[in-house]
Structure 1
Amino acid sequence: MVTRSKDWLALLGFGLLSYGVAALGSLATLDNVRGWYASADKPWFTPPNWLFGPVWTVLYGLIAVAAWLVWRRGDRSALGVWAVQLALNLAWTPTFFALRWLWPAFVVILLLDLAVIATIVRFRRADRVAAWLLVPYLAWILYASLLNAGVAALN
């Protein structure tokens, strides 16, 4: 029973970390999405603003579960790579939205792309399901990278 409780507490912890990053990121986006970003020129392939919340809610859940699966396998070094990508994820939002440093944000998101690829590679060694859970995240941030470059080029 202790192992099960520990497993669920770990899942809760990974969820709190992931959704904590989401909550901190939302502090940088809320006013700015309605502010400067609303009037900024954007590429033709920009999705409607309402789509970002549901997509990120699902993605942060997948990020948490993937880390938990790897944690259960005991691969702590892979979790270090996971922590790096989560930190870059956290860094991008205020860089882009709050500071409006569009090209530096593009550098951050490119580093995030590489960190997520590295995380998938490391997670695959420990748990294939965990690696696959991160593929939608990678797809979304690659798309977000294009959006970031588009907004930076147009503004």
Structure 2
Amino acid sequence: MATQQHAHRSPLLRAEGPWALAVHVGLLLAVTIAINGFLFAIGWARPGRQMPMIPPGAVVGLVWTVLLGLMGAARWVYVRGSGDSGWRSWTPFALAALCIAYPFYTGGLQRNAAAFWGTVLTLIVAVAVMLVLRGRARRAPWLIVPTAFWGGYVLSVMIAYPPA
């Protein structure tokens, strides 16, 4: 019955076909690259005062590119492992949307209260996504763990070195 209910959905949404993983990962990578291009174009991505203990901006950008790709892969693994393409399967993309929005609500990656609480929220949502995915596909949450570790690291640096 469940397969008949979702039979009208595309193979991509059901994570089927030879290109499904590439499209899940590629979609988030393309959005990330487009948003970063926009941020550079409007001048929000210009180098500012470097936060202590955080790698240079290019490395941080690479880290986030990998993390967002892993979020796309997490959805693919979840759907492939559980057969569920409902709301739970989209939680990695919701986490990705929160991460992609970060520069906008922090005013161009400025160290401020919005950045601190945005990092806290990202960490909480990452853990929630892991818990949601864990219920039906045991491998999918492991692809979100690096995001939680990165969020925890950044949060610890923000606590240790608050903005002046």
Structure 1 residue ranges without an equivalent (≥5): none
TM-score under structure 1 length normalisation: 0.75
Select the residue among 102, 106, 115 that pairs with 2:125. Answer: 115
Match of 1:61 in 2: 69
The answer as to 2:131 corresponding to 1:144 is: no
For the pair shown, the structure with the greater C-alpha radius of gyration is 2
Residue identity opposite 1:145 in structure 2: L
CA contact (8 A) 1:28 1:97 kept: no
> Is the 2:45–2:109 contact (alpha carbons within 8 Å) kept by the matching residues of 1?
no
User: Which whole-Å CA distance do the structure 2 matches of 1:99 and 1:53 have between them?
Assistant: 12
1:97 Cα shift?
5.1
Letter in 2 for 1:14: H
Query: Relative to 1, partners in 2 of residues 1:54 and 1:101: Cα closer, same or farther, differing over 3 Å?
Result: closer
The alignment covers a number of residue pairs equal to: 149
| Secondary structure class of the residue paired with 1:105 | helix
- For residues 29 and 146 of structure 1, the distance between their equivalents in structure 2, rounded to whole angstroms, comes to 26
Q: Structure 2 stretches of 5 or more lacking a match?
A: 1-10
Post-superposition, which runs of at least 4 consecutive aligned residues in structure 1 deviate over 6 A? none
Does the 8 Å CA contact 1:67/1:79 hold for their aligned counterparts?
Answer: yes
Which residue in the other structure is 1:96 paired with? 106
| C-alpha displacement of 1:120 | 0.7
> Higher relative CO (CA 8 A, sep ≥ 6), structure 1 or 2?
1
Matches within 5 A, 1:1-155: 6-27=16-37, 29-30=39-40, 31-35=43-47, 37=48, 40=49, 42-43=51-52, 45-72=53-80, 73-75=82-84, 76-96=86-106, 98=108, 100=110, 102-148=112-158, 153-155=162-164
Task: Sort the Cα spacing of 1:144 and 1:99 in 2 relative to 1 into closer, same or farther, 3 A.
Answer: closer
Contact kept, 8 Å, 2:109 with 2:115, in 1: the verdict is no
Paired with 1:99 and 1:54, the residues of 2 have a C-alpha distance of 16
> What TM-score do the two structures reach when normalised by structure 2?
0.72
Supply the distance in 2 between the matched residues of 1:46 and 1:123 (Cα, whole angstroms).
Answer: 29
1:122–1:7 distance in 2 versus 1, CA, 3 Å:
farther
Query: Which residue number corresponds to residue 5 of structure 2?
Result: none
Q: Identity, % of aligned pairs?
A: 26
Q: Which has the higher helix share?
A: 1
In structure 2, the residue corresponding to 1:154 is in which secondary structure?
coil
Distance 1:28 1:145, change over 3 A: farther
CA pair 126-137 structure 1, distance change in 2 beyond 3 A: same
Deviation at 1:56, TM superposition (A): 2.3
